[in-house]
Amino acid sequence: MSVESILGQMGLTLPEPPQPVAAYVPSVRTGNLLIVSGQLPFAGKSLLAKGKVPTAIDMEQARAAAEQCVLNGLAIAKAELDGDLNRIKRVVRLGVFVQSEDSFHDQPQVANGASELMQRLFGEAGRHARAAIGVTVLPLDAPVEVELVVEA
Amino acid sequence: MSVESILGQMGLTLPEPPQPVAAYVPSVRTGNLLIVSGQLPFAGKSLLAKGKVPTAIDMEQARAAAEQCVLNGLAIAKAELDGDLNRIKRVVRLGVFVQSEDSFHDQPQVANGASELMQRLFGEAGRHARAAIGVTVLPLDAPVEVELVVEA
Amino acid sequence: MSVESILGQMGLTLPEPPQPVAAYVPSVRTGNLLIVSGQLPFAGKSLLAKGKVPTAIDMEQARAAAEQCVLNGLAIAKAELDGDLNRIKRVVRLGVFVQSEDSFHDQPQVANGASELMQRLFGEAGRHARAAIGVTVLPLDAPVEVELVVEA
pLDDT reported for residue B90 = 98
Distance CA C35, CA B115 (A): 16
Contact C141 B105 (CB under 8 A): yes
Read out DSSP for C61-97? Answer: HHHHHHHHHHHHHHHHHHHHTTT-GGG--EEEEEEEE
Separation in Å, CA of C13 to nearest CA in chain A: 22
Contact A136 C134 (CB under 8 A): yes
Q: Which residue of B has its CA nearest to A89?
A: B30
- What number of other Cβ atoms are within 10 A of residue B126's Cβ? 21
Q: Tell me the pLDDT tens digit for each residue of C78-107.
A: 999 999 999 999 999 999 999 999 999 999
pLDDT reported for residue C66 = 98
Using CB atoms, pick whichever of B24, B31, B138 lies closest to residue A128: B24
B78 has a pLDDT exceeding 80: yes
pLDDT profile of chain C (152 residues), mean per 10: 93 90 91 97 95 98 98 97 96 98 97 97 96 97 98 97
Distance CA A118, CA A125 (A): 9
Does the CB of A136 have a partner CB in chain B at under 8 Å? yes
B1 has a pLDDT exceeding 90: no
Candidates C137, C141, C147, partner chain B, best to mutate (most B CBs within 10 A): C137
Side-chain half-sphere exposure of A122, counting CA atoms within 13 A = 26
Distance CA C18, CA C15 (A): 8
Does the CB of B131 have a partner CB in chain A at under 8 Å? no
Contact B133 C138 (CB under 8 A): yes
Q: Where are the domains of chain C?
A: 3-12+29-151
Q: Which residue of C has its CA nearest to B107?
A: C139
pLDDT reported for residue A146 = 98
Q: Tell me the pLDDT tens digit for each residue of A84-126.
A: 999 999 999 999 999 999 999 999 999 999 999 999 999 999 9
pLDDT reported for residue A1 = 82
Read out DSSP for B95-107? Answer: EEEEEB-TT---H
pLDDT reported for residue C23 = 85
Quick one: which of A74, A88, A63 has its CA closest to A15? A74
Q: Is B83 left (phi over 0), alpha (psi -120 to 50) or beta?
A: left
Which chains neighbour A (Cβ–Cβ under 8 Å, 3 or more pairs)? Answer: B, C
Beta bridge partners of B126: none
Q: What is the mean pLDDT of residues B127-131?
A: 97
Q: Tell me the pLDDT tens digit for each residue of A59-82.
A: 999 999 999 999 999 999 999 999
Q: Tell me the pLDDT tens digit for each residue of A4-37.
A: 999 999 999 899 999 887 889 999 999 999 999 9
B121 has a pLDDT exceeding 90: yes
B130 has a pLDDT exceeding 90: yes
Quick one: which of A98, A112, A96 has its CA closest to A54? A98
Which chains neighbour C (Cβ–Cβ under 8 Å, 3 or more pairs)? Answer: A, B
Candidates C59, C92, C109, C133, partner chain A, best to mutate (most A CBs within 10 A): C133
Residues 69-88 of A with CB under 8 A from C: none
Does the CB of B103 have a partner CB in chain C at under 8 Å? yes
Size of interface A-C (CB pairs under 8 A): 88
C52 contacts in chain B (CB < 8 Å): none
Contact B131 C23 (CB under 8 A): no
What is chain A's Cα-based Rg?
Answer: 14
pLDDT reported for residue B20 = 85
pLDDT reported for residue C46 = 95
The pTM score is 0.96
Separation in Å, CA of B1 to nearest CA in chain A: 30
The CATH superfamily of C3-12+29-151 is RutC-like (3.30.1330.40)
pLDDT reported for residue A69 = 98
Using CB atoms, pick whichever of C93, C102, C109 lies closest to residue A136: C102
Q: What are phi and psi of C71, to 5 degrees?
A: -60, -40
What is the average pLDDT score of chain B?
A: 96
Using CB atoms, pick whichever of C31, C101, C133 lies closest to residue A145: C133
Separation in Å, CA of B111 to nearest CA in chain A: 16
Q: Which residue of C has its CA nearest to A38?
A: C131
Contact A107 B25 (CB under 8 A): no
Quick one: which of C142, B147, C39, C8 has its CA closest to A97? B147
Burial A83-122 (b: 16+ CB within 10 A, else e): eebebbebbbbbbbbbbbbeebbbbbbbbbbbbbbbbbbb
Q: Is A104 helix (H, G, I), strand (E, B) or coil?
A: coil
Separation in Å, CA of A124 to nearest CA in chain C: 26
Separation in Å, CA of A112 to nearest CA in chain B: 6
Dihedral (Cα; B107, B113, B114, B118), 10-degree rounding:
140
Give percent of chain B above pLDDT 70. 100
pLDDT reported for residue C36 = 98
CA A142 from centroid of its chain's CA atoms: 13
pLDDT reported for residue B54 = 98
User: What CATH class has B3-151?
Assistant: alpha beta
pLDDT reported for residue C94 = 98
pLDDT reported for residue A110 = 98
